Amino acid sequence: MVRIIKERALLSKLGGIPLQSDSLQWLLTPKALKKELLKRIENATHSVYIAALYLEDDEAGREVLQALMDAKQNNPALDIKVLVDFHRARRGLIGHKGDSGNYLMYRKVIEAAEHPIEILGVPVKSREFMGVLHLKGFIVDDAVIFSGASINNIYLHQEEKYRFDRYHVIESAELARSMRDMIQTYLVDDVAVSSLTQPKALEHLPTKTEVSSLKHRLSKAEYTFNSTKIGSRVTPLVGLGRKKNILNKVIVALVEESADALFICTPYFNPPYILVRALAKHLRQGKKIDIVVGDKTAN
């Protein structure tokens, strides 16, 4: 998660990475996201890190995966890592029978590659229904495309239906480095995070103990960066668990320190008690709240 913070706004004590106004760009459509992502991958010079809930075995997913493979073939030194939710990658679409799952596509593509890339599964919880990977975004060289979009036909508007998200392109070498370092330190290097392209005979799956240890370590994860409290800045935040969760604290502070109005855009709205309490106080003070909730029937 990323918050753009100006001097007059919330939590003046929260440090961030300096950001110039021309370093931030908004993409307005899912198709624009796909075009930008493919262009960035093609032109990447040193690294491409992708974190998404899933990279689907469909037209859009295969196109992005092929773009990654082509970039690696053209530049074997390119550091490419794709991180997706472990459980989501291992199961097929709901209702599909038999051995299926996106990992089978990953395995097939990597087995045929002269220069393979890393595709890793992150098991945030021991079962999918208990929690999934919500670390999302695309880090290409010195730029971050911040979005909650996954990679499939719907999120990239491949066909008629689409799902809308936010798409911020942030040009910041320090932010990109910080995010890559966090992914490498807390995810890639963890024993519970396994390759989704392993040959079946050599497959290693994370144990419950390993997943539990990963969750404990992630609850203490943080981004490291050269911080400033002056001027416009961007602050990367990560949070997991109930206790000492800086992300949750910042969200509540956003509500508590708002002066006049709040605008909340969310795919679903089932806030925890601490946030409900802050929102109720906001309303009692005569302040305005606009809430836009995603309606899947509209898509």
What pLDDT score was predicted for residue 135? 82
pLDDT at 11 over 70: no
Confidence of residue 132 (pLDDT cuts 50, 70, 90): low
Q: What domains can you pick out in the chain, each with its CATH number?
A: 13-234 (3.30.870.10)
pLDDT value at residue 141? 98
Min mean pLDDT across 4-8, 79-83, 106-110 is at 4-8
The better pLDDT of the pair 114, 265 is held by 114
| 8 has pLDDT over 80 | no
Local confidence band at 126 (pLDDT 50, 70, 90 cut-offs)? low
Q: What is the pLDDT of residues 24-35, one digit of tens each?
A: 999 999 999 999
Helix extents (H) in 12-123: 30-43, 59-74, 86-90, 102-111
pLDDT(125) > 80: no
Phi, psi of 82 (to 5 degrees): -120, 125
pLDDT at 287: 93
pLDDT above 90 as % of the chain: 63
CA–CA gap between residue 122 and residue 53 (Å, rounded)? 9
**Is-contact 71 42, C-beta < 8 A?**
yes
The one-letter amino acid at 65 = L
Residue 155 pLDDT greater than 70, yes or no? yes
Return the pLDDT at 95. Answer: 46
pLDDT of 128: 37
Q: What is the mean pLDDT of residues 244-256?
A: 87
- pLDDT value of position 98: 47
Average pLDDT of every residue of the chain: 88
For residue 223, name the pLDDT band (cuts at 50, 70, 90). very high
Yes or no: say if 221 and 247 are a contact pair by the CB < 8 Å rule: no
Q: In angstroms, rounded to a whole number, what is the distance separating the alpha carbons of residues 2 and 170?
A: 10
56 HSE (CA, 13 A, CB side): 13
pLDDT single digits (tens) 165-205: 899 999 999 999 999 999 999 999 999 999 999 988 888 88
Q: Which pLDDT value is given to residue 42? A: 98
Q: Is the pLDDT of residue 40 over 50?
A: yes
- The predicted pLDDT at position 30 comes to 96
Cα 51 from Cα 120, distance rounded (Å): 10
Q: Are 235 and 209 in contact (CB under 8 A)?
A: no
- Give me 245's structure tokens: 């969760």
pLDDT at position 244 is 81
Residue 100: predicted pLDDT = 62
Q: What is the pLDDT of residue 157?
A: 96
Give the burial class of 19: count Cβ atoms within 10 A of its Cβ; 0-12 exposed, 13-18 middle, 19 or more buried. buried
pLDDT for res 133: 67
